[in-house]
């Protein structure tokens, strides 16, 4: 049985990724890239092509972040977005956003073809479909936006599945690929151009004078002229208050062998809960991947229920599939839905950051790499100003920012008021959750051997109470999306410090 209930994606099982040694010395490099996902590796690739000495450092293994858990549609169709972008930023900027993303699709296609990279790259149209009248109205507004922006499209009134719809808007000239096979090729080229990659090397701080020093947990330091932070959630905030400007959303995916006919195309619903559908090469057979059920991290309720929802939807509305893989992952969303790409703050112009891809990082991570490469090389990037992290847009940022912070305050108070209803002794092997212990509520996980790993649930970022994520055996914070392993170690920031460990045998 291929299913891995501990958060594994089909991509991982079907790609060969090399191991790289940890950094074992302090040294100089031209550019330090922190983070080995699509954003960091593409930036390293582009800079290496320009002759710069690039060092990529990765806290865990490369391609173990969100890039491993993506659906990997390579498209400029990011849900219903262009109508909203025209409203908030005007036609010119909305068109630039489309151009940057479409150029990323075309660049990936061209690179794969020129280099002959075997990565299951396929050209497809991207379908956005509406099943209700309110979403049809949104879709019609989006269609008008496509017309204003001159985006090539066609429409349809039915889908090639049993999903009843009111209409579909189809963007031409899009694609999909196997993200890990693609990036494994890119990694080899980075190395062949003289780049260096270090895994199990966690960056913990940045100091800046003439050079910029990135300090590792191990104590080693990389000094360089530029630093790129491509860690999804920026590991270093530089008082940029990113936690108050990024919302973290988790989604679920199921996949497996598809025994029906493949109609081609990649599909996304306008209605909630969202549904994302694509087909792919599954070990020589045709596979289907269905995603959706997104929610703010730490606020999603029963995780297995989301997986069941996707399985039920697939069997009832799409067709015959043997769904053996299931996983979930998270990505960051900015206040105004455009990514943050550029100097982390005005005070640190040579420390660049790229985040907030709203679950569209295959193209946005690629375009971020292109923009940051230009910025490092000093090439004028006027059209990229709209992504400057220090931008301030009154509408909709203020409203959305206030909502985000009110939501955090609510979660902070709610977490403090809640108490566990079960005793630690009642926790079965292989289970975790909030439990009563010694007159207080703590977090505990009992492994299969009966050993208890217990933690103080107070998030080390800003003090909200973490919730148990049963599908991935992690503690997830509902405020800004930090995640912690059962032993308290940080899995995702903004938190930098682990949860406090409680020894339930001793700490009475």
Ligand X SMILES: Cc1cc2nc3c(=O)[nH]c(=O)nc-3n(C[C@H](O)[C@H](O)[C@H](O)COP(=O)(O)OP(=O)(O)OC[C@H]3O[C@@H](n4cnc5c(N)ncnc54)[C@H](O)[C@@H]3O)c2cc1C
Instruction: Catalog residues that contact ligand FES under the rule CB under 6 A.
Output: 243, 459, 461-464, 477, 479-482, 494-495
- Asked if 331 is part of the footprint of ligand X (rule: CB under 6 A), the reply reads yes
Question: Closest separation between CB of residue 353 and ligand X, Å?
Answer: 10
Nearer residue to ligand FES within complex by CB, 318 or 479: 479
CB-wise, 35 or 415, nearer to ligand FES? 415
At a CB cut-off of 8 Å and minimum separation 6, what does 501 contact?
Answer: 453, 454, 455, 456, 487, 488
Of residues 365, 432, 443, 488, which one binds ligand X by CB under 6 A?
365
Closest separation in Å from C-beta 52 to ligand X: 19
- C-alpha span between 433 and 470 (Å, rounded): 8
Cα–Cα distance measured from residue 236 to residue 348, given in angstroms and rounded to the nearest whole number: 12
Starting from the edge strand earliest in sequence, which strands make up the sheet with 31-34, in order?
Answer: 196-198, 54-57, 31-34, 226-229, 351-355, 340-343
**Minimum Å distance from CB 244 to ligand FES?**
10
Q: How far apart are CA 149 and CA 142, in angstroms?
A: 10
Q: How far is the CB of 452 from ligand X (least distance, A)?
A: 27
Q: Can you read off the two tokens belonging to residue 144? A: 């008008």
Least Å distance between CB 396 and ligand FES? 22
Shortest Å, Cβ 336 to ligand X: 17
State how far the alpha carbon of 274 is from the alpha carbons of 125, 161, 365, 457, in Å.
18, 16, 22, 31
Q: By CB under 6 A, is residue 287 in contact with ligand X?
A: no
Report what 462 binds from ligand FES, ligand X, none; CB cut-off 5-8 Å by kind: ligand FES
Q: Are 301 and 312 in contact (CB under 8 A)?
A: no
* Contact flag: residue 443 with ligand X (CB under 6 A): no
Minimum distance from residue 268 beta carbon to ligand X (Å) = 9
Edge to edge, what strands does the sheet with 474-476 contain? Answer: 467-469, 474-476, 483-484, 490-492
C-beta of residue 252 within 8 angstroms of C-beta of residue 326: yes
Q: Of these, 17, 45, 54, 65, which contacts ligand X (CB under 6 A)?
A: 65
- Among ligand X, ligand FES, none, the one that 300 touches (CB under a kind-dependent 5 to 8 A) is none
Contact between 370 and ligand X by CB under 6 A: the answer reads: no
Task: Give me the numbers of helices (H) and strands (E) for the chain, helices first please.
Answer: 9, 27
Given candidates 79, 240, 291, 389, which one binds ligand X under the rule CB under 6 A? Answer: 291
The residue sitting closest to ligand X, measured at its beta carbon, is 361
In the complex with ligand X, the residue whose CB is nearer, 5 or 431, is: 5
Strand partners, 329: 251
Q: Are 457 and 463 in contact (CB under 8 A)?
A: no
Complex with ligand X: residue 58 or 125, whichever CB lies closer: 58
Neighbouring C-alpha atoms within 13 Å toward the C-beta of 456: 12
70 binds ligand X (CB under 6 A): yes
Nearest-5° Cα angle at 151, 146 to 154: 80
User: Which residues lie across from 248 on neighbouring strands?
Assistant: 332
Which of 48, 96, 330, 381: binder of ligand X (CB under 6 A)? 330
Q: Per CB under 6 A, which region of 67-75, 119-127, 153-161, 426-434 contacts ligand X?
A: 67-75
Tell the smallest beta-carbon distance from residue 99 to ligand X (Å). 16
Residue 202 binding target from ligand FES, ligand X, none, CB below 5 to 8 Å by type: ligand X
**Which residues from 172-231 bind ligand X, rule CB under 6 A?**
202-203, 230-231
Residue 342 makes contact with ligand X by CB under 6 A: no
Instruction: Enumerate residues 6+ apart whose C-beta is below 8 A from 403.
Output: none
C-alpha pair distances (Å), 208 with each of 102, 213, 225, 293:
36, 6, 10, 42
Query: Which one, 36 or 265, has the nearer CB to ligand X?
Result: 36
Q: Which is nearer to ligand FES, 17 or 490 (CB)?
A: 490
Helices (H), 249-326: 303-313
Q: Which is nearer to ligand FES, 101 or 332 (CB)?
A: 332
Comparing CA positions, the residue from 381, 322, 311, 393 lying closest to residue 352 is 381
Residue from 36, 167, 443, 481 binding ligand X (CB under 6 A): 36
> Which C-beta is closer to ligand FES: that of 462 or that of 501?
462
Helix/strand/coil for 106: helix
Which partner, ligand FES, ligand X, none, binds residue 330 by CB below 5 to 8 Å per kind?
Answer: ligand X
Cβ 459 to ligand FES shortest distance, Å? 3
DSSP per-residue letters across 233-263: S-S--TT--GGGTEEEEEEEEEEEEE-S---
Burial of 506 (0-12, 13-18, 19+ CB in 10 A): exposed
The option from ligand X, ligand FES, none interacting with 477 (CB < 5 to 8 A, set by class) reads: ligand FES
Binding mask 388-427 for ligand X (x = CB under 6 A): ----------------------------------------
Question: What are the residues binding ligand X (CB under 6 A)?
Answer: 34-40, 57-60, 64-67, 69-73, 202-203, 230-232, 235, 251, 253, 291, 329-331, 357, 359-363, 365
């Amino acid at each position: 049985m291929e299913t891995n209930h501990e958060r594994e994606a089909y991509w991982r099982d079907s790609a060969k990724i090399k191991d790289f040694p940890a950094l074992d010395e302090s040294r100089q490099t031209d550019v330090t890239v922190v983070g080995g996902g699509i954003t960091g590796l593409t930036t390293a690739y582009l800079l290496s092509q320009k002759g710069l000495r690039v060092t990529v450092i990765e806290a865990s293994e490369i391609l173990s972040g969100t890039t491993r858990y993506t659906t990997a549609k390579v498209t400029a169709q990011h849900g219903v977005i262009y109508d909203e972008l025209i409203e908030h930023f005007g036609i010119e900027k909305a068109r630039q956003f489309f151009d940057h993303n479409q150029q990323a699709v075309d660049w990936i296609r061209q690179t794969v073809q020129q280099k002959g990279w075997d990565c299951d790259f396929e050209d497809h149209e991207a379908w956005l479909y509406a099943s209700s009248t309110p979403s049809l109205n949104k879709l019609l507004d989006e269609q008008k936006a496509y017309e204003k922006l001159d985006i090539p499209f066609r429409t349809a009134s039915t889908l090639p599945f049993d999903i009843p719809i009111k209409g579909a808007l189809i963007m031409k000239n899009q694609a999909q690929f196997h993200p890990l096979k693609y990036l494994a090729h890119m990694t080899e080229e980075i190395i062949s151009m003289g780049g260096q990659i270090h895994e199990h090397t966690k960056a913990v701080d940045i100091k800046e004078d003439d050079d910029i020093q990135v300090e590792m947990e191990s104590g080693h330091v990389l000094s360089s002229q530029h630093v790129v932070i491509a860690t999804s959630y920026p590991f270093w905030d530089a008082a940029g208050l990113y936690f108050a400007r990024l919302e973290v959303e988790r989604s679920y995916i199921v996949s497996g062998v598809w025994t029906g006919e493949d109609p081609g195309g990649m599909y996304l619903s306008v209605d909630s809960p969202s549904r994302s559908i694509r087909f792919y090469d599954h070990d020589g057979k045709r596979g289907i991947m269905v995603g959706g059920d997104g929610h703010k991290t730490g606020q999603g309720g029963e995780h297995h229920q989301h997986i069941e929802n996707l399985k039920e939807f697939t069997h009832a509305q799409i067709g015959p599939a043997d769904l053996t893989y299931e996983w979930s992952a998270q990505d960051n969303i900015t206040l105004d839905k455009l990514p943050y790409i550029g100097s982390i703050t005005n005070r640190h112009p040579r420390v660049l950051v790229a985040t907030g891809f709203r679950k569209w990082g295959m193209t946005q991570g690629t375009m971020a790499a292109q923009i940051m490469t230009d910025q490092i090389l000093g090439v004028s990037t006027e059209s990229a100003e709209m992504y400057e992290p220090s931008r301030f847009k009154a509408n909709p940022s203020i409203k959305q920012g206030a909502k985000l912070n009110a939501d955090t305050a609510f979660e902070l108070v709610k977490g403090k008021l809640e108490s566990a209803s079960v005793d630690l002794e009642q926790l079965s092997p292989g289970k975790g959750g909030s439990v009563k212990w010694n007159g207080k509520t703590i977090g505990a996980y009992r492994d299969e051997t009966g050993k208890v790993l217990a933690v103080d649930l107070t998030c080390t970022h800003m003090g909200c109470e973490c919730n148990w994520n049963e599908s991935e055996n992690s503690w997830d914070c509902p405020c800004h999306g930090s995640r912690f392993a059962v032993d308290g170690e940080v899995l995702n920031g903004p938190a930098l410090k682990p949860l406090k460990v409680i020894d339930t045998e001793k700490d009475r």
